Amino acid sequence: MRAPSNRLMSAHLLRRRFLDIIGWGFSALAFLLLGSAMVWILVTIFLRGITALSLEALTHVTSGTSGGLLNAIEGTVVLAVGGLMLAVPPGLAAGIYLSMFDTGRLAPTIRFLADVLVGVPSIVIGYFGYITMVVTLGWQFSVAAGSVALAIICLPYICRTSEMAINQVPRGVRESAYALGAGDARVALSICVRMALPGILTGTLLAFAISVGETAPLLYTAGWSNYLWNGHITREPIGYLTYAIWAFITEPFSGAHALAYAAALFVTFFVLVISILSRMVIDGRKNGARRNGGWAWRGRGR
């Protein structure tokens, strides 16, 4: 009586242990697969980028498919800063509104549409910029059109990360400020925004990194230029690093390839530094807040 039951038990146990091993093996394998792909990409970019790097890349402008990347580096910074300048005021205001004045039906609508806007492919935003600003308004390929396109991409990120950051400010602090007679503006700007500043800055920094890595929205709004920016807002195309990656790697010259690798190194290194920085800020601030950082990267087809 005992023996068959024991054998039955051990068969059952064996099956269970086998399933366990399969399960853990599969999940470890999945992680290894992703981790090694990540390392493969980073090693490729860094090795090829560093061998391609030269002083000329940093100090000269592009001439055709050779020269340097100074114009592209400058253009990337100009476009990304321009995009942030346009996106931060409305994004932060939206964050304040969603977090503090969420009373009527407007706030849920804004929140939902912001979440949907995160998912709109960046090429659609680029094409929207092309038909409205470049063609209809006659700005042509320009800093203005590129910055507005980047601003639309940054807006929902900044809006939602500031909302989450301001949500972390304890309710009691707000109520005390109101009880002391402070108005909406003062409670929002000198209490909530000041307390939530690390979170808001992290979100803004991540939006900046996204702007630096974008290509599709700029192709038909910013154009490309071999020269340094001459200060014109409209009717003057401008270069940027991600264009150099895309356009120069398909050229049949090793000099062009070197520029593409160097540009990829700059962009990847920059994005990596910002990611690590924001991860350190988020880890430093403990519970709840870490959701902000993870959130910002999710969503869009780029």
Partner 1 sequence: MDNSLAGGAAAGKRRFSCPLEDSRPGALSPLLCRLGRMSSGVMNFRRLTALLGSMVAGSLIAIVVFLTVYAWPAVRLNGFRFLINNNWNLGSLYGNPVTVHGQQILPGAHYGILFLIVGTLLSTLIALFIAVPVGIGTAVFLAEGIPPLMRPWFSFLVELLAAIPSVVYGLWGYVVLIPFLGHHLFPFMAKWLGFLPFFGGSTGSGYGLLTAGLVLTLMIVPLITATLRDALVSQPVALRECAMALGASRFETVRLVLLPGVRRVLVGSSILATGRALGETMAVLMVSGNALNYLPANIYTPISTMASFIVSQLDSALQDPTGMAVRSLAEVALVLCLISIFVNGLARVLLYYEGRRNVRTK
Site residues for partner 1, window 236-265 (CB under 8 A)?
242, 245-246, 249-250, 260-261, 264
Site string for partner 1, 199-238 (x = CB under 8 A): ----------x--xxxxx--xx------------------
The residues, ordered by sequence, that sit 6+ positions from 86 with a Cβ below 8 Å of its Cβ are: 147, 148, 151
CB of 31 or CB of 253, closer to partner 1 = 31
Question: What whole-number distance in Å separates Cα of residue 62 and Cα of residue 208?
Answer: 24
For the chain, the farthest-separated pair of C-alpha atoms sits apart, in whole angstroms, at 93
CB of 117 or CB of 165, closer to partner 1 = 117
Among 9, 11, 85, 113, binds partner 1 (CB under 8 A): 113
Q: Does 294 bind partner 1 (CB under 8 A)?
A: yes
Treating both helix axes as pointing N-terminal to C-terminal, what angle do 143-167 and 122-129 enclose, rounded to 10 degrees?
130
Q: Does 268 bind partner 1 (CB under 8 A)?
A: yes
The sign of the CA dihedral 184, 187, 193, 196 is: negative
Among 130, 139, 141, 224, binds partner 1 (CB under 8 A): 130
Question: What whole-number distance in Å separates Cα of residue 263 and Cα of residue 26?
Answer: 37
Question: What whole-number distance in Å separates Cα of residue 171 and Cα of residue 176?
Answer: 9
Q: Does 8 bind partner 1 (CB under 8 A)?
A: no
Among 115, 137, 138, 253, binds partner 1 (CB under 8 A): 115
Site string for partner 1, 54-93 (x = CB under 8 A): -----------------------------------xxx-x
Question: What whole-number distance in Å separates Cα of residue 131 and Cα of residue 250?
Answer: 27
Q: Does 285 bind partner 1 (CB under 8 A)?
A: no
Which contacts of 111-120 are long-range, i.e. CB under 8 A and separated by 24 or more positions? 111/160, 111/163, 114/155, 114/156, 114/159, 114/160, 115/156, 115/160, 117/152, 117/155, 117/156, 118/156, 118/157, 118/160, 118/298, 118/299, 118/300, 119/299, 119/300, 119/301, 120/300
Number of residues that bind partner 1 (CB under 8 A): 101
Q: Does 27 bind partner 1 (CB under 8 A)?
A: yes
Q: Does 175 bind partner 1 (CB under 8 A)?
A: no
Q: Contact at 8 Å (CB) between 169 and 300?
A: no
Among 94, 169, 200, 222, binds partner 1 (CB under 8 A): 94
Compute the radius of gyration of the chain from its Cα atoms.
Answer: 25
Stretch that binds partner 1, among 54-62, 68-76, 180-188, 224-232 (CB under 8 A): 180-188
Q: Contact at 8 Å (CB) between 192 and 169?
A: yes
Question: What whole-number distance in Å separates Cα of residue 257 and Cα of residue 244?
Answer: 9
Q: Does 165 bind partner 1 (CB under 8 A)?
A: no
- Distance of closest approach, residue 111 Cβ to partner 1, in angstroms: 9
Stretch that binds partner 1, among 70-78, 181-189, 197-205, 222-230 (CB under 8 A): 181-189
- Distance of closest approach, residue 147 Cβ to partner 1, in angstroms: 14
Among 9, 11, 14, 34, binds partner 1 (CB under 8 A): 34
